């Protein structure tokens, strides 16, 4: 009875907010974004997810919803200290000298604070918002009930909103499990071993719990803070090239990649690109990784059939699909974006919106893992285009993929090993007072 009462009260709250914004009369991107924030963390997370789905919402809504990634209300310092004390079962002062009152960042599920341990060690603490799991679980239950009754014209025709809610809830549950995130950090740190220009902060396991994650403090600046990077003497093209190379290594070799590489989750510090916020990571099977590489090679070599075949191998589709018509749509698609430079591209998300529209027209169902990968590629590409528009993304990815597929047999294995090692290890990033020897180039003759 109590659960029913809580559900009813929450439903009334939701209806009041939605009525306030008069959605039946139409709603602007700004008001839609404001409404999602007012409805609470579940809707903020849903908005974040929808911002990555231009096949569901028009582009102007997607772009506005991107602000929900970092635009969140802050827990006050007293709340943070109480949460930590309760989580540890002892006063926070028995562990920390000081916890800085203003967060380094705040999101719908958690916020991060700079702190100093009793021994003087500088750390960052990620603290989960109180009762966030119960709040989101209830909202998801109510949303699924609502969408089973109400069909939204123009959206239900494109995507199953119940499936979208399920995807959001799965992602949110993973992000709320800090034990899982700590394991993700350890895995990425291991994958980064031997790469001098990439780093991932270490976790203080003895201080971390399911709701509190304590990590090494990372300074520096955001990846897209062009002014700060130039002031430090970084070469923007070098930063972008190595950022892309490491991301390609994550999916193509490690098959474990950052699923949300937006600028707030990547910093440049002491000559290294540092990956942060590893609550949402993508996993590819060996077979899917090879198929994704086939798709990418098709794009960058202008082989539309290879791209189409790779896409069909990954996605569910009718075995009697009109392949010739599908090939033709893919040919036009590849040709359209092949001739657009990153500098001239209005929005990298357009690339994936167009791809989804083609798949929808042919009844091709794109699996979540594949969606996550292309979404990450879109975010990564957008970051590079903002930071260094003249950086040739196609050349970087093409060289990386070629390093793994240059020759056959024993000679080829040796060549690929040597070339690939040069490509991914590299030197730390050059910056003021820390000039590095130039990286060795991979020649076509190797």
| pLDDT digits 0-9 by tens, 307-351 | 899 889 888 889 999 999 999 999 998 888 765 554 454 444 566
Exposure class string for 316-341: b at 16+ Cβ within 10 A, else e: ebeeeeeeeebeebbbebbeeeeeee
Question: Using the 8-state DSSP alphabet, how is residue 220 labeled?
Answer: S
pLDDT of res. 149: 55
Whose CA is closest to 124, among 243, 228, 278?
Answer: 278
Is residue 378 over pLDDT 80? no
Q: Do residues 184 and 250 make contact, with C-beta atoms less than 8 angstroms apart? A: no
Q: What's the sign of the alpha-carbon dihedral 91, 92, 98, 104?
A: negative
pLDDT of res. 9: 84
H helix or E strand, kind and range, residue 59: helix 59-65
H helix or E strand, kind and range, residue 273: strand 272-275
Q: Which of 266-280, 309-323, 405-419 has the lowest average pLDDT?
A: 405-419
Question: Using the 8-state DSSP alphabet, how is residue 251 labeled?
Answer: I
Whose CA is closest to 199, among 207, 190, 208, 209?
Answer: 190
pLDDT of res. 158: 40
CA–CA separation, 330 and 323 (whole Å):
10
Q: Do residues 170 and 76 make contact, with C-beta atoms less than 8 angstroms apart? A: no
- Extract the tokens encoding 83: 């949460």
23-31 long-range contacts (CB < 8 A, ≥24 apart) are: 29/60, 29/61, 29/63, 29/64, 29/65, 30/64
pLDDT of res. 302: 80
21-24 long-range contacts (CB < 8 A, ≥24 apart) are: none
Beta carbons within 10 angstroms of residue 263's beta carbon: 18
Between 371 and 331, the more confident residue is 331
Q: Write the pLDDT tens digit of every residue in 112-161.
A: 999 999 999 999 999 999 888 888 888 888 877 766 655 444 444 444 56
pLDDT band of residue 12 (cuts 50, 70, 90) is confident
pTM of the model: 0.81
pLDDT band of residue 438 (cuts 50, 70, 90) is low
């Amino acid at each position: 009875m109590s659960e029913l009462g809580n559900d009813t009260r929450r439903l009334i709250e939701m209806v009041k907010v939605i009525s306030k914004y008069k959605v039946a009369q139409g709603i602007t991107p700004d008001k839609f974004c404001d409404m999602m924030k007012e409805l609470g963390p579940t809707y903020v997370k849903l908005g974040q997810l929808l911002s990555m789905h231009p096949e569901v919402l028009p582009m102007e809504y997607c772009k506005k919803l991107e602000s929900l990634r970092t635009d969140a209300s802050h827990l006050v310092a007293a709340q943070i200290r109480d949460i930590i004390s309760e989580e540890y079962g002892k006063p926070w002062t028995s562990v920390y000298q000081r916890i800085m009152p203003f967060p380094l960042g705040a999101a719908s599920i958690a916020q991060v604070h700079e702190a100093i341990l009793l021994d003087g060690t500088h750390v960052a603490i990620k603290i989960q918002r109180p009762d966030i799991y119960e709040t989101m679980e209830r909202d998801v239950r109510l949303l699924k009930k609502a969408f089973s009754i109400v069909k939204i014209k123009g959206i239900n025709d494109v995507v199953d909103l119940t499936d979208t809610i399920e995807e959001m809830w799965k992602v949110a549950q993973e992000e709320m499990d800090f034990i899982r995130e700590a394991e993700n950090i350890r895995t990425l740190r291991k994958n980064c071993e031997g790469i001098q220009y990439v780093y991932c902060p270490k976790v203080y396991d003895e201080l971390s719990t399911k709701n509190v994650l304590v990590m090494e403090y990372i300074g520096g600046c955001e990846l897209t803070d062009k002014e700060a990077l130039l002031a430090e003497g970084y070469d923007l093209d070098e930063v972008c090239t190595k950022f892309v190379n490491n991301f390609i290594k994550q999916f193509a070799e490690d098959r474990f990649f950052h699923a949300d590489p937006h600028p707030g989750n990547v910093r440049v510090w002491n000559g290294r690109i540092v990956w942060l916020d590893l609550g949402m990571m993508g996993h590819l099977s060996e077979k899917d990784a090879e198929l994704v590489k086939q798709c990418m090679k098709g794009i960058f070599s202008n082989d539309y059939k290879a791209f189409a075949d790779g896409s069909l191998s990954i996605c569910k589709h009718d075995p009697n699909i009109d392949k010739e018509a599908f090939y033709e749509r893919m040919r036009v698609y590849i040709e359209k974006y092949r001739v657009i430079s990153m500098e001239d591209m209005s929005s990298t998300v357009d690339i994936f919106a167009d791809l989804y529209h083609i798949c929808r027209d042919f009844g091709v169902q794109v699996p979540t893992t594949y969606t996550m990968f292309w979404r990450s590629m879109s975010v990564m590409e957008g970051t590079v285009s903002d930071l260094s528009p003249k950086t040739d993304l196609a050349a970087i990815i093409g060289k990386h993929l070629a390093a793994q597929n240059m020759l056959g047999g024993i000679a080829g294995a040796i060549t690929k090993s040597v070339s690939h090692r040069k490509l991914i290890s590299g030197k730390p990033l050059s910056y003021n007072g820390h000039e590095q020897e130039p990286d060795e180039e991979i020649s076509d003759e190797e």
